[in-house]
Structures are given as C-alpha cells and as structure tokens.
Amino acid sequence: MAERVATALDIEALAWDKQGGLLPAIVQDARTLRVLMLGYMDRAALQATLREGRVTFFSRSRQRLWTKGEQSGHVLELVRLETDCDGDTLLVQARPLGPTCHLGRESCFPEAPGAQLAALDLLVERRERERPAESYTTRLFEGGIRRVAQKVGEEGVETALAAVAEDDAALLGEAADLAYHLLVLLRARGLGLADLERALRERER
C-alpha cells in the first residue's frame, strides 16, 4: 500500500449541492503527475476512498459505488486527496497498479503530459526489482554500486566536456545519460527520485 499523506478534509463542508451530490474527481499519478482519469464521488465514495486507501467512485451508469480495479485488479492506491478553492472538485493523487484506462492505456487521456524523469525513475525501479536478462540496467545493478558510481563519474565528465566543446544536442544527450545513471545509482542505494526531490525541498527552507 502506498504511503498516504494526511490532509485535513471536512467532507460535509464540500459543495455537494452544486452537482446533485456528486463531485468530479481528477485522478493524477502521484509520481509522474500525469492525469489518469476523471470520475465522480459522492459522500460514500469519498469516505470509502479515505478509509480503505483505494480510490472509489460513484458510478453514474451503474448507480452504485465502484472501486477502480475491482475486476481488473488495476487499483489506484490513494496517496493524497485535496479539494479546489471552491470545494466542488477533488484532486486525487494515487499510485496506479496497472493501466488506468479500460483500453489498456496508462491514462484515459493518451496525450496527457507527465514528468519524464519520474517515469524513468519508475522504470529503473521496475528493472531493479525484476532484473530482465537482456536489460542494460540489470547489468548495471548486477555490476555493483562501485560500477554504477564509476558510470556516473564518466557521464558527468562527458556532460561537462559537451557543455564547453559541443552543440546543444550533444549536451542534452550527455545530460540525459547522466540523469539516467544517477537514478540507477540512487536506486542501488535504496533511494529514488522522491528522496532527491525531498532533499531539494529542504534546501528551500
């Protein structure tokens, strides 16, 4: 189960009367920030979501509560839930366990943007866990942390050299290689992009 972020929420203070007892709920991937879907919640669906930690909607076609993934297993694990300034729309951040769209896509909005670095971090995490035989990432993990650290050093030097001696395309290519190897290094230490972002936020204080 994903770690949930506690948010103060007065359910009865929400603007239930505006849309016949339903609030639109925008679901966003908590890690990549990609919009996944739009559903509707009534009071019972919101209470079930907060209580169970799995995103539950009120199905207007079935006229009943519906937990996303109750048949497919592709549930949405709640991470954070908040309302907009008018109290008539919900923003749900969740971790999807499988595709969200019934067409087998990651999102019901096929072109919805997301954070590419976070998506890469998810892929690195999956490679570390599954260790597919033909994967370069698998070879890095199995080479040990010293080998991964060496690669970060090499890519850092190549990025610096590209910055002073090559064009923008070359610099961006080297920077992308550096970012990838840095994510692998963090994962080899049991860390990830979220930990790096937390360290950056702490520097803002």
The answer to whether residues 90 and 129 belong to one domain is no
Tens of pLDDT, residue by residue over 72-103, are 999 999 999 999 999 999 999 999 999 999 99
The answer to whether residues 131 and 79 belong to one domain is no
Main-chain dihedrals φ then ψ at residue 67, nearest 5 degrees: -85, 125
Neighbour order of strands in the sheet with 35-41: 35-41, 23-29, 90-96, 76-83
Q: Which amino acid is at 185?
A: L
Q: Which two tokens stand for residue 23?
A: 């609030």
Q: Which amino acid is at 109?
A: F
**pLDDT of residue 1 exceeding 50:** no
Looking at residue 124, which CATH number applies to its domain? 1.10.287.1080
Q: What is the pLDDT of residue 186?
A: 98
Q: Lowest mean pLDDT of 3-7, 167-171, 182-186, name the range.
A: 3-7
Tens of pLDDT, residue by residue over 150-170, are 999 999 999 999 999 999 999
Q: Lowest mean pLDDT of 7-11, 142-146, 180-184, name the range.
A: 7-11
Residues 188-204, mean pLDDT to the nearest whole number: 94
Q: Is 189 a domain residue?
A: yes
The answer to whether residues 153 and 82 belong to one domain is no
Q: Which two tokens stand for residue 139?
A: 């070879």
* Greatest Cα-to-Cα distance within the chain, rounded to the nearest angstrom: 64
Give CA–CA dist 185/20, Å, rounded: 51
Domain count, the chain: 2
Q: Is 83 a domain residue?
A: yes
Tens of pLDDT, residue by residue over 103-155, are 999 999 999 999 999 999 999 999 999 999 999 999 999 999 999 999 999 99
The answer to whether residues 196 and 136 belong to one domain is yes
The parent domain of residue 152 ranges over: 116-202
Q: Given pLDDT bands bounded at 50, 70 and 90, which one contains residue 9? A: confident
Tens of pLDDT, residue by residue over 22-65, are 999 999 999 999 999 999 999 999 999 999 999 999 999 999 99
Give CA–CA dist 158/16, Å, rounded: 57
Last residue of a domain, one of 37, 66, 96: 96
The answer to whether residues 91 and 163 belong to one domain is no
**pLDDT of residue 3 exceeding 80:** no
Residues 6+ apart with CB under 8 A from 78: 2, 4, 49, 50, 53, 54, 55, 92, 93, 94
Looking at residue 76, which CATH number applies to its domain? 3.10.20.810
**pLDDT of residue 21 exceeding 60:** yes
Q: Is 2 a domain residue?
A: no
The answer to whether residues 124 and 80 belong to one domain is no
Q: Is 19 a domain residue?
A: yes
In order, the DSSP letters of 15-66 are -GGGGTT-EEEEEEETTT--EEEEEEE-HHHHHHHHHHSB-EEEETTTTEEE
Q: What sign for the dihedral angle of Cα 152, 157, 162, 164? A: positive
Q: Is the pTM value of this prediction over 0.85?
A: no
Last residue of a domain, one of 68, 96, 124: 96
Give CA–CA dist 48/64, Å, rounded: 13
